[in-house]
Amino acid sequence: MSSNSKEVVWVSGVGAVEGLGAALARRFARGGFKVAVSGRSLDKLEAVVRSIQAQGGEAIAVPADASIEADTLAAIGKIREWGPLRVAIFNVGNSVSAPSLELSTELFERTWRASTLGGFIFARESTRLLLEAGGGTLLFTGATASLRGKPPFAAFAAAKAGLRSLSQSFAREFGPQKVHVAHVVIDGSINGERVRSHAPQRLEQLGEDGTLALEDIADAYWYLHSQPRSAWTQELDLRPFKEPF
């Protein structure tokens, strides 16, 4: 198969090498895909690309801020040139917290733009390419906040709930056109760079097997992509076996 004809997975919301976006990129690279990774930090994207290439995979960095439409349109142009898009994953996360009466309009809007508006622009543009390819998979990363709002996460909950509704709308519209749309609720702490750097005490408190492993989450996304059309999952929730819910 030529380089241009090899199928592509596009992961938006890629940061640290030891983050979920990078883990998803590596998992699909192992599955035989060329990987396009997007995020705001070129340095971090290039580190992820090198980690995939070191394992024999193909990857490119496509810097883009998901909340800026022009960035996504520029990214989709590069991906179209690189090969047929078969899988698109929106993994942008911008968890913010503030007491509701201290929550600024600017912070609320910025949170909505990153998750909800950014998710819509990503879904609209990637779905165009998936349809051109005859179908594919569109996956969204959600959170506990997708299902319930509680203080001090009003902005994050509103944004993630909106993204969940978006995924349902796209699933109903494009499922019959062979685009599998699924929303993944991450209900718990991920044992990745963010928690290790900013809340190591949280890892210690949760103890062994108290967090979600990056590779295990990535395998769940691969499972969703691999499902036969006769039994598609629209929403999948993932949590450590210790996690109360």
List pLDDT tens digits, range 111-135: 999 999 999 999 999 999 999 999 9
CA distances from 116 to 9, 12, 64, 167 (A): 21, 13, 16, 10
Strand partners, 36: 10, 60
Q: What pLDDT, on a 0 to 100 scale, did the predictor assign at position 193?
A: 78
Cα separation, 99 vs 102, in Å, equals 5
Residue 239 pLDDT greater than 80, yes or no = yes
In a domain, 192, yes or no: yes
78-112 pLDDT, tens digit each: 999 999 999 999 999 878 899 999 999 999 999 99
CB atoms within 10 A of CB 203: 15
C-alpha 112/C-alpha 74 separation (Å) is 21
CATH number at residue 74: 3.40.50.720
**pLDDT digits over 182-235, tens only?**
999 999 989 887 777 777 777 778 887 889 999 999 999 999 999 999 999 999
Number of domains in the chain: 1
244 inside domain: no
pLDDT at 3 over 70: no
4 band by pLDDT with thresholds 50, 70 and 90: low
33 found inside a domain: yes
**Residue 60 belongs to domain spanning:** 8-238
In-domain check, residue 229: yes
| pTM, to two decimals | 0.94
Say whether the peptide bond before residue 152 is cis (omega within 30 degrees of 0): yes
Within-domain flag for 17: yes
Could you give the CA distance from residue 45 to residue 43 in angstroms, rounded to a whole number? 5
Q: What is the mean pLDDT of the chain?
A: 94
- Asked, for residue 1, whether it belongs to a domain, the answer is no
From first CA to last CA, the distance across the chain in angstroms is 46
What pLDDT sits at residue 2? 37
Given this model, what pLDDT does residue 5 score?
64
Q: Could you tell me how far CA 21 lies from the centroid of its own chain?
A: 6
Kindly state whether residue 190 falls inside one of the protein's structural domains.
yes
Would 196 be classed as within a structural domain?
yes
